[in-house]
Copies of this chain bind each other. A is one copy, B any other.
Amino acid sequence: MGAMTEADPLPDIDWSAQGIETELGWALPVTYRAFSQVATAAVADVPGGPRGYQVLVAITTESPSSQLALAHRLGIDKTQMTYVIDGLEAGGFVERRPDARDRRVRQVHPTDAGRALLSTAREGLRDAECVLLRHLAGDEQTQLRRLLARVALGAGDIEAAADGAPPTPALPAAAPERSRRPSRD
């Protein structure tokens, strides 16, 4: 809706010939960004966005956990975790309960509101996936999931090899959240 409307989704470049190089280098980022966008929108109501959502998932589907354990599990810095939990607690979605045996640690428990929020966000994410894969037949979707899962499984080694083996992430990291200004260029 900006000043220039001549931006067709797929420019008239002949990618296949020797274009931007291999198709994967194009398709993967595009797909990821689209998913990242809808997924972030789906968890927009969760304080802390994708990371807040990850925390809710972790303490709900597993058991309540200390902040440091959560940070390690989700691959988030412990200082970041403080902010995320702050937001969740301010919204009344989690509680910090001091551990009786070690009063340094604070266990993070989900509240009823937190569980409800998680449930809603989950649905939104499922819908987001459906939108993303809407052009694929049912069996094709299954096929894609399976193949991608296998690649991701092997990909873990790559990440691990590079730096100090960060734990497995689960959502689009952070999703920079493009500015919502009029975007006139």
Task: Report if A44 contacts B (CB, 8 A).
Answer: no
Q: A24 an interface residue at 8 Å Cβ cutoff?
A: yes
Whether A162 lies near B33 (C-beta < 8 A) is no
A20 and B169 alpha carbons, distance in the complex (Å): 10
Chain B residues with Cβ below 8 Å from A166 are: 7
**A112 near B: Cβ within 8 Å?**
no
A2 within 8 A of B: yes
Residues on B with beta carbons closer than 8 Å to the beta carbon of A23: 145, 148-149
A104 at the interface (CB under 8 A from B): no
User: Does A134 lie within 8 Å of B154, measured CB to CB?
Assistant: yes
Q: Give residues 57-78 of A contacting B (CB, 8 Å).
A: 57, 61-62, 72-73, 77-78
Q: Which residue of B lies closest to A173 (CB)?
A: B29
| Majority secondary structure, A binding face | helix
- Bound form: Cα–Cα A164–B181 in Å: 10
Given contacts A62-B13, A178-B163, contact A27 B133 (CB under 8 A): no
Chain B residue contacts of A116, Cβ below 8 A: none
A22 at the interface (CB under 8 A from B): yes
CA distance A152 to B134 in the complex (A): 11
A23-63 interface with B by 8 A CB criterion: 23-39, 54, 57, 61-62
A136 located at the interface, meaning its Cβ lies under 8 Å from any Cβ of chain B in the complex: yes
The yes or no answer to A101 lying at the interface (CB within 8 A) is no
Q: Which residue of B lies closest to A37 (CB)?
A: B162
User: In the complex, what residues of B have CB within 8 A of residue A149's CB?
Assistant: 23, 26-27
Show 24 A/B contacts (Cβ-Cβ < 8 Å), sorted by A.
A2-B165, A7-B72, A9-B165, A19-B61, A20-B61, A23-B145, A24-B132, A24-B145, A25-B171, A26-B170, A29-B32, A29-B36, A29-B169, A29-B173, A30-B155, A30-B168, A34-B156, A34-B158, A37-B159, A77-B185, A131-B158, A134-B154, A136-B150, A163-B183
